[in-house]
Amino acid sequence: MALLEVKDLHVSFNTDDGAVRAARGVSFSVDRGQTLGIVGESGSGKSVSTQSIVGLARGGSVTGEAIFDGRDLLTMHRDELQKVRGAQIAMIFQDPLSSLHPFYRVDWQICEMIRAHEPRTDAKAARARAIDLLKLVGIPQAERRVDDFPHQFSGGMRQRAMIAMAMALNPALLIADEPTTALDVTVQAQVLRVIERLQNEFGTAVILITHDLGVVAEIADDVVVMYAGAVVETADRDELFYRNHHPYTEGLLRSLPAYGGERARLIPITGQPPSLIKLPTGCKFHPRCPYAFDRCRAEEPPLALVYGSSSHRSSCWLPHTVEGRESTRAQLLGGRTVG
Amino acid sequence: MTIPSAIESHTELAIEPGVAAERAIEGRSTWQLAWMRLRKDKAAVVSFVVIVLIVLMAIFAPVVASLTGHGVDQQFRTTGLNGFGQPVGPNGTFLLGTDDLGRDILVRIAYGARISLLVGVVATLIMVAIGTVLGLMAGYLGGIVDSIIARLIDLVLSLPFLLFAISLVSVTHPGLAVVIIVIAVFNWAAVARIVRGQVLSIREKEYIEAARSLGAGPLRIMFVDVLPNVLTQLIVYATLLIPVTIVLEATLSFLGLGIPPPTADWGQMIAESEGVYQQAWWFLVFPGLALLVTTLSFNILGDGVRDALDPRLERR
Amino acid sequence: MARFLLRRIAQGIVVMILVTILVFLIFFGSGSQIDVARRLAGRNASQQTIASITHRLHLNESLPAQYWHFVVQLVWHHNLGYSYYHTQPVSTIIGHAIPITLSLAIGAAVIWLVLGVLSGVTAAVRRGSVMDRVFTGLALFFYSLPTFVLGLLLLFLVYFQLAKRGIRIFPGQGYTGITSNPLKWLESMILPWFTLALVSAATYMRLTRGSLLEVLGEDYIRTARAKGLPERRVIFRHGLRSSLTPVVSQLGIDLGTLVGGAIVTETVFGMPGLGYTAVTSITNQDLPVIIGIVIVASGSVVVANILVDIFYAVLDPRVRLH
Amino acid sequence: MSGDVIVRATDVVKHFPVQSSSLRRGREVVHAVDTVSLEVRRGETVGLVGETGCGKSTLARCLARLLDLTSGRVEFDGHDITKLKPRDLGKVRREMQMIFQDPYGSLNPKRRVGSIIGDPFAVHNVASGQDRRRQVQELMELVGLNPEHYNRFPAEFSGGQRQRIGVARALALKPKVVICDEPVSALDVSIQAQVLNLLADLQQHLNLTYIFIAHDLSVVRHVSDRVMLMYLGKIVEGGPSEEVYQRARHPYSNALLSAIPLPDPRAAQERPRIVLVGDVPSPIDPPRACRFHPRCPKAQGRCVEEEPVLEPRLGDPTTHVAACHFPVAEGEDLTMARPTLSEEERIVEPTMVATPGESGEKELP
């Protein structure tokens, strides 16, 4: 059984200009100890979906199911959900500087986490655990640095401190929301290694939200691709990178500069992502899709199994077999080259 | 321009549906959007109407006087005072009653509005003008200019306003111009500090660097690039400064440091009511109400303008 | 820290020097020698007094020289001047007035802090609720109400109307020292305290609400919630802690200003604190007293500003002190 | 493709005073750029790569004389522009333009697009009225914007379109050199490619020279003819792109290359992962000699004593230079390397954060 199974999640926010439909029928699941990568551009609903599951997307109306360890998080009482947060589902965020409280020492912030869920831990023991945690994430001279304020840490150290805090109660699930976006590549590599190591050590499941396909390729087991508030494709990593079905996934991969290849012209996805207030009809990607045909404009495709795989789903009207997709694709382009 | 414009066909882009969806705000400036939002704010609309009425009352104060037939300084010792020489309450002749000298309070309130609004608006404009120019210079030019202006701001903010007003008035003779100047000279610093703070953050924006990289000089950058970005804040602040200024003027007059009698002035009327209002409540209540309604209206409108111009900004 | 303090105190001294120059220019720089002497001597001063003032203050010398003597008196002799009207040193007069002003200011500050911060927090936490609207509306009302109007209205409604019906809880005007009769002191302070406090409470409510709302949108509040902390703790330990900084700054500056006299409130209630003394000194043309009060008041604002900066640095560890 | 030298920098040094204390001001400085020399030839694209705080943006601003140099010399189109006063910089300002990173921050939100793109005309007093409008609209068309949107505000455009506005503004005065400061790093991947293609097209049509700053090595590799890798204010390696990317000599270059997340799971699994220890040290007090030694997997005693010069290593062509005493040979496995320096010598812990601004510290208001 999956550790977390999200089914048909809808999130919308009311604004002066109309309802923003941030998530529309999002479904995905994570198994124990696995890493799920959620990829999407800004505004695709990846952060909103995960934050609303744990009750952090305030002011939005949320429907659907989020079964965590057999219980639905969305119908759970506020106080119970509060006990799950931090203890069983921990989170880290994009900007570690603004995510740590500037007025409290790192020690205080980690101990607070421990004692909020294990009130009987005495101060000394909590502090010792905080130091151990900092050592675990590779902070040098943890005994001394534990008394620092967050602003005295470097960017990479802050994110490690966030990870240390998140792992304090050995959660079953870690939601990492763009954890390395604000960091330099060498520091990003360090932080990803730390997450990987802890995951192996503690068997934590990880949901890694990112816009960077490279990061996903490095550490995800399964991948969910989101566009305009909905899941457009989901598959295990290799399947997604080498046998993708949805034209958006294909477009994302093709628009990246090839590493090590020829300095060829890039093939971008045309146009701009849609506004979440006024979505296009039918398939939300059709205005930017090179293969769009009449049905795409009229009807939104369901997230259906493709290529005969038991886990690879795509929300696209192109035929669901490899050959069928390729030939239709070629037909639709009608001699035009993509881009 | 000799650049071939054939490139366009190569570059994938154009005005795609994504943007079409954003048409909701197409072509509308900040001001138009703000105006739309402001119109939806009932409290702000009501207070705007009230302010317009007060302005009309001030402009047409002589009309009020002629309608009632009571001059502003005219003392009605027989009709306006009772047998014991005390003011009479609201009645058919004196709608809002009379003061201790038998003058019509309604007419005096109408004339008092002139002073309040005049001082409120003029002093605010002077404060905003001084504060903006100095704040812009300090914030954008930095260095020694900033040091000097920042110290000056510190100094002025350290001066207890009322005491200095008392000092100045004690060596000069009070009057309209003195009141306006005293208020402006001791209160521009708050504006300057706000503008300076804003400019300091705007200065770090990339579009300022972009302007510098194009070769724009400091004057052009200050007035073309920086000023429009402080303008919304300034307008909000000015709207909220007007009631503050009106209260300052009334306070000075109340303390006997403002416009000398017999000129009708709300603060002074309230001061004159002291010792009499136990018997003649209208003498205290109506001028007080006029003052309150005016400042309240400006404050509500100011809050409304702030929310309309920048919905995210909810400060002070 | 020591270096920061020194620098900050040096800045304060510069401001004080500028204040004394300003005061000097206002009172000594305008008008002729005789005018100045007459002004300082007060009404009906004898020719002899004027001559002695001219001599004592070196009014026959150049302005810079006069200023030098003025400062020397102030700094070395702690001499704020002499009131010919009261025939007392100004410092004695100020010494009598300060306790009154202090008890007014401190009592009012306690009231407005409690009222303002509590209602501000409630309004921010329940943003958009009926409670929020009521508090915001009340705050706007009192914020718009000039102090003297509020004071007179309170006197009229709470004192005179009750007194007419034979109920005398509060004395109207005047002041009783706390040492002579503590109960009477308390009674005489209640109306002035609320007059001063209600207007300020409105400002503090708006300040607290705005600042807390801003803080509640910060990323670290999301972190606190993600940690599974109870909402109360999120708001008070994580939110309020950071949003109090502007409130504390404002409090320092307000108290600093108030020490120089709650002019309007003291005048309305006839309490002989520094502010009221300054106002009556105008009527009495007792300029030396005004000069003294202005300098004391400016000094207290400067000191308050330094204290606020120190406090700020204590509250926010990110502030670097040099 | 490349012709004569259009920008030449010689031993450029840029120090910033640490802005925090008025008493200590002038004593502590941030060594943002330290004795950097480079040449940019007409028509080529030179990529400047490095992590936050390595000095790449500062260097570019020194080249454009948006900053005064602490020492060194910059020549533009054959003229020494190091000492020119602001009012004499007109030619430089016209012929060297910038494209900025933040498509939101680089356009004045209160001005209409037409006026933003027309700003260069207004500043330099060329073309006015209808003529200016026509030219601006031509520019809009050139970068793929609808000229009818002349009177719109930046807020009405998406990120990618805003970046096009920035490009149009930079091209208005037909510059020779365009400095692109992370022009695509704030954009979503699907939009990045659009802008990169646009820049490539414009370069071809207008014979532009690009100085391209980025932290994304794949992007830089894609656009650049030559790349310069920077670390803590110094160039550590430079040369023709393919040469550098395929035979990186400096351990830092290798680490950086191995840290790029590859959107290709198999390739990602296969390549060696060099995870550097620690963070970038403070530029206020940079490490002695080779600035990379505290984090370097190959560091030895010599690295602490003697600063390596930028020169061809291991028989590389003269165009490919690296500043390292122990350059990495082809096929060498850096993940196995163990430094001979002791723990004390390898102070991996940054005593202070890289740049004062990002640490979140603040002055009293």
Strand order in the sheet with A35-39: A89-92, A173-177, A205-210, A35-39, A222-227, A230-236, A313-314, A304-305
Asked if C174 and C54 sit in the same domain, the reply is no
Sheet holding A71-72, edge to edge: A18-30, A4-15, A61-68, A71-72
Q: Name the band, by pLDDT with cuts 50, 70 and 90, for residue C32.
A: low
Q: What is chain C's length?
A: 322
Partners of residue A216 in chain D, C-beta under 8 Å: 263
CB contacts of D24 in chain C (<8 Å) are: 322
Sign of the C-alpha dihedral, residues B209, B215, B218, B219? negative
Residues in CB range of C86: below 8 A, 6 or more apart: C93, C286, C289
Instruction: Supply the pLDDT for residue A220.
Output: 92
Q: Is residue D362 part of a domain?
A: no
Tell me what the pLDDT averaged over chain A comes to: 89
**pLDDT at A282 exceeding the cut of 70:** yes
Does the pLDDT of residue A198 top 60, yes or no? yes
| Domain contains C321 | no
CA neighbor of B122 nearest in space, from B228, B237, B241, B227: B241
Report the alpha-carbon distance of residue D99 to residue D179 in Å, rounded: 6
Q: Which of D94, D169, D198 sits opposite B11 (nearest CB)?
A: D198
Residue of A159, A155, D19 whose CA lies nearest to C320 = D19
Mean pLDDT computed over A170-175: 94
Closest CA–CA distance from residue B152 to any residue of chain C (Å) = 9
What letters, b where the CB count within 10 A reaches 16 and e where it falls short, cover B137-155?
Answer: bbbbeeeeebeebbebbbb
Between CA D64 and CA D170 the distance in angstroms is 13
**What is the band of D159 on the pLDDT scale with cuts at 50, 70, 90?**
confident
Question: In this structure, is residue D214 part of a structural domain?
Answer: yes
CA–CA distances in Å: residue D318 to residues C4, C146, D228, D243, D314: 54, 80, 14, 11, 11
How far apart, in whole angstroms, are the C-alpha atoms of residue B180 and residue B178? 6
B25, closest residue in chain A (CA to CA): A17
List all chains that touch chain A, counting a touch as 3 or more CB pairs closer than 8 Å: B, C, D
Q: What pLDDT score does C78 carry?
A: 65
- Which chains share 3+ C-beta pairs under 8 angstroms with C? A, B, D
For residue D320, is it within any domain? Answer: yes
Six-digit token string for D294: 């505290």
Verify that C141 and C251 share a domain, yes or no. yes
User: Same domain for C39 and C118?
Assistant: no
Cα nearest neighbour of A189 on chain D: D259
Q: Return the CA Rg of chain D.
A: 22
Domain that holds residue C26: 2-90
pLDDT of B231: 87
- % residues pLDDT > 90 (chain A): 55
Nearest chain C Cα distance for residue D14, angstroms: 25
**What average pLDDT does the segment B180-189 reach?**
88
Q: Which residues are CB-neighbours of D364 under 8 A, at least 6 positions away? A: C309, C312, C313, C319
Of D336 and A7, the structure prediction assigns the larger pLDDT to A7
Looking at B157-161, C277-281, C282-286, which range is the least confident one?
Answer: C282-286
Q: Is residue D238 assigned to a domain?
A: no
Query: What pLDDT digit, counting tens, does each position of D278-309 carry?
Result: 778 888 888 888 999 888 888 888 888 889 99
> What is the reported pLDDT for D7?
93
Q: Is the pLDDT of residue B15 over 90?
A: no
Is C171 within the bounds of a domain? yes
C172 domain residue, yes or no: yes
Mean pLDDT of the D27-46 span: 88
pLDDT-derived band at B128, boundaries 50, 70, 90: very high
Least confident of A148-162, B58-72, D205-219: B58-72
Chain D's closest residue to B229, CA to CA, is D110
Residue A99: predicted pLDDT: 92
Q: What gap in Å lies between CA D243 and CA B82, rounded to an integer? A: 106
d(CA D264, nearest CA chain B) in Å: 25
D355 — pLDDT class (breaks 50, 70, 90): very low
Closest CA to D294 of D338, D347, D234, D254: D347
Rounded Cα gap, residues C305 and C296, in angstroms? 14
CA distances from A242 to A217, A254, D266, D267 (A): 11, 12, 10, 12
| pLDDT band, very low/low/confident/very high, at A262 (cuts 50, 70, 90) | low
Q: Give me the residues paired with residue A163 across strands.
A: none
From the list D247, D216, D250, the residue with the least C-alpha distance to D234 is D250
Q: Say if CB A312 and CB A242 are below 8 A apart.
A: no
Residue C322 lies in a domain: no
HSE value, Cβ hemisphere, 13 Å, CA-based, for C285: 13
* Neighbouring subunits of D (3+ Cβ pairs under 8 A): A, B, C
State the DSSP H helix or E strand holding residue D33, giving kind and residue range, or none if neither.
Answer: strand D29-41
DSSP string, A86-123: HHTEEEE-S-HHHHS-TTS-HHHHHHHHHHHH-TTS-H
How near does any CA of chain D get to the CA of C68, in Å? 30
Residues of chain A contacting residue C315, judged by C-beta atoms under 8 Å apart: 103
pLDDT digits (tens, 9 = 90+) for C83-99: 767 778 878 888 888 88
Query: Any idea which of A252-256, B183-187, C212-216, C258-262 has the lowest mean pLDDT?
Result: C258-262
**Residue B22 sits at the chain A interface (C-beta within 8 Å):** yes
Count of residues in chain A: 339
Q: How far apart are CA B144 and CA B153, in angstroms?
A: 14
CA distance, residue C203 to nearest chain A CA (Å) = 25
Q: Which of A85, A95, A102 sits opposite C227 (nearest CB)?
A: A85
Helix, strand or coil, per DSSP, at residue C74: helix
A103 CB within 8 Å of a chain D CB: no
Q: Is C152 on the interface with B (CB under 8 A)?
A: yes
- Which of the four pLDDT bands, split at 50, 70 and 90, describes residue C44? low
- In this predicted structure, what is the pLDDT of residue D37? 93
In terms of domains, do C163 and C239 share one?
Answer: yes
Burial class (CB in 10 A: 0-12, 13-18, 19+), C169: exposed
What is the total count of domains within chain D?
2
The pLDDT value given to residue A240: 93
User: Hey, what's the torsion of the CAs at B106, B111, B112, B114, to 10 degrees?
Assistant: 140
Residues D39 and D148 in one domain: yes
Q: What's the pLDDT score for residue C119?
A: 93
Which residues touch B45 (CB under 8 Å, ≥6 apart)? Answer: B38, B39
Phi, psi of B276 (to 5 degrees): -115, -25
- Residue B269, helix vs strand vs coil: helix
Picking from C67, C90, C113, the residue at the C-terminal end of a domain is: C90
pLDDT at C101 over 60: yes
CB pairs under 8 A between B and D: 119
* Cα–Cα distance, D132 to B18 (Å, whole number): 30
% of chain C residues with pLDDT over 70: 87
pLDDT at C282 > cutoff 90: no
The answer to whether D27 faces chain A, any CB pair under 8 Å, is: no
The answer as to whether D327 is a domain residue is: yes
Report strand pairing: D177-181 vs D29-41: unpaired
Q: What is the 3-state secondary structure (H, E, C) of B51-69?
A: HHHHHHHHHCHHHHHHHHC
pLDDT tens digits for range B257-309: 878 878 888 888 888 887 777 777 888 888 888 999 999 999 998 888 888 87
Confidence at residue D1, expressed as pLDDT on a 0 to 100 scale: 43
Q: What is the mean pLDDT of residues D111-140?
A: 90
Phi-psi region of D97 (alpha: psi -120 to 50; beta: other; left: phi over 0): beta
Chain B nearest-CA distance from A249, in A, is 18
Nearest alpha-carbon partner for C115 in C236, C233, C191, C200? C200
State the residue range of the domain holding D81. 2-224
Q: What is the mean pLDDT of residues D96-107?
A: 88
D152 contacts on B by Cβ (under 8 Å): 26-27
Does residue D364 lie in a domain region? no
**Contact residues, chain B, for A270 at CB < 8 Å:** 12-14, 16
pLDDT at C112: 92
Angle at D46 between CA D40 and CA D48, to 5 degrees: 115
Q: What does DSSP say about strands D177-181 and D96-99: parallel, antiparallel, or unpaired?
A: parallel
Mean pLDDT on A35-48:
90
The CATH T-level fold of domain B49-311 is MetI-like fold (1.10.3720)
Q: What residue segments make up the domains of chain A, in order of their start?
A: 99-168, 232-333
User: Which is higher by pLDDT, B58 or B130?
Assistant: B130
Compute the distance between CA of residue D257 and CA of residue A205 in angstroms, rounded to an integer. 29
What is this structure's pTM? 0.84
Which residue would you say has higher pLDDT here, D178 or A274? D178
Residues 6+ apart with CB under 8 A from C53: C37, C40, C41, C59, C84
pLDDT tens-digit series, residues A61-115: 899 999 999 999 999 998 999 999 999 999 999 888 889 999 999 999 999 999 9
Burial class (CB in 10 A: 0-12, 13-18, 19+), C122: middle
Place of tokens 């061809």: D312
Residue C173: the pLDDT is: 66
| Dihedral sign computed on CA atoms, order C300, C301, C305, C306 | negative
- In angstroms, how far is CA C139 from the centroid of its own chain? 20
Nearest CA in chain A to D360: A151
Closest CA to D290 of D309, D303, D276: D303
pLDDT for residue B164: 85
Phi, psi at residue A304, to the nearest 5°? -115, 155
Three-class SS state of A196: helix
Question: What are the backbone angles phi and psi of residue C129, rounded to the nearest 5°?
Answer: -80, 175
Strands D226-231 and D234-240: antiparallel
Q: Looking at residue D345, what is its pLDDT?
A: 55
Interface probe, candidates D197, D279, D335, chain A, greatest A C-beta count within 10 A: D279
Model pLDDT, residue C315: 80
Look over chain C and give the mean of its residue pLDDT values, rounded to a whole number: 82
Residue with tokens 């939104």: A300
Judge residue A336's burial from the number of C-beta atoms within 10 Å of its C-beta, 0-12 exposed, 13-18 middle, 19 or more buried: exposed
**What length is written for chain B?**
316
Tell which of B12, B23, B25, B39 to mutate to test the A interface (max A CBs under 10 Å). Answer: B12
**β-strand partners of D73:** D10
A298: tokens are 């009229």
Peptide bond into B262 cis (omega under 30): yes
Tell me how far apart the alpha carbons of residues A8 and A24 are, in angstroms, rounded to a whole number.
7
Residue D129 lies in a domain: yes
Residue D159 belongs to domain with CATH number:
3.40.50.300
Which residue in B49, B109, B119 sits closest to B289, CA to CA?
Answer: B109
